[in-house]
């Protein structure tokens, strides 16, 4: 299996409390398996507050819904040994 790398990493975002915020990370190969999103070192699952999706097989997207002050912190995207943070 080819080593999947991060082609374009996360960008820092500033949003108002109550708004949604979206982070995107592009990887080098489609259907990357070992992928993880974290907020403040806590693994995120796809649910009503966190929307995790993949577009065109390579663009991994995380949307945090209705953010609060408790959501301030570092977002991390990891694929295999590679990480990107914002």
User: For the segment 18-57, what is each residue's pLDDT rounded down to a tens digit?
Assistant: 999 999 999 999 989 899 999 999 999 999 999 999 999 9
**Reported pTM:** 0.94
* b/e map 14-46, b = 16+ CB within 10 Å: eeeeeeebebbbebeeeebeebebbbeeeebee
User: How many Å apart are CA 4 and CA 83, to the nearest integer?
Assistant: 11
- Residue 16 reports pLDDT greater than 90: yes
Residue 80's pLDDT is 94
Per-domain residue ranges of the chain: 6-85
* b/e map 65-84, b = 16+ CB within 10 Å: eebeeebeeebbbbbbebeb
CATH of domain 6-85: 2.60.40.10
Kindly report the average pLDDT of the chain as a whole number: 95
Residue 31's pLDDT is 87
């Amino acid at each position: 299996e080819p080593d999947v790398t991060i082609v374009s990493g996360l960008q820092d975002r500033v949003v108002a409390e109550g708004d949604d915020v979206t982070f995107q990370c592009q990887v080098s190969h489609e259907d990357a398996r070992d992928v993880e999103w974290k907020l403040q070192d806590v693994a995120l699952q796809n649910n009503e507050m966190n929307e995790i999706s993949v577009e065109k097989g390579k663009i991994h997207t995380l949307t945090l819904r209705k953010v609060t002050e408790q959501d301030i912190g570092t977002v991390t995207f990891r694929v295999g040994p590679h990480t990107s943070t914002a």
